[in-house]
Structure 1
Amino acid sequence: MSDAEDVMIVLDESECWVLLRSHSLGRLAASAAGVIDIFPLNYYADGSTILMRTTPGTKLVEMTIHSDVAFEIDDFTDEEAVSVVVKGTAEWLDTRSAIEEADRAPLVSWLPTLKYVYVRITPTSVTGRRFVRGPEPERD
Structure 2
Amino acid sequence: MSDNPFNILGKESTPINQGEAVSNVDKNSELNEQIKSLINSADLFLFMKGTPDMPMCGFSANTIAMLNSVGKPYKTFNILEDMDIREGLKAYSNWPTYPQLYYKGELVGGNDIITEMFQSGQLQEVLK
TM range (shorter): under 0.3
* Normalised TM-score (structure 2): 0.28
Determine which structure has more spread, i.e. the larger CA radius of gyration. Answer: 1
Q: Which structure dedicates a bigger proportion of its chain to strand?
A: 1
Q: Structure 1 length normalisation: TM-score?
A: 0.26
The structure whose residues are more often helix, as a share, is 2
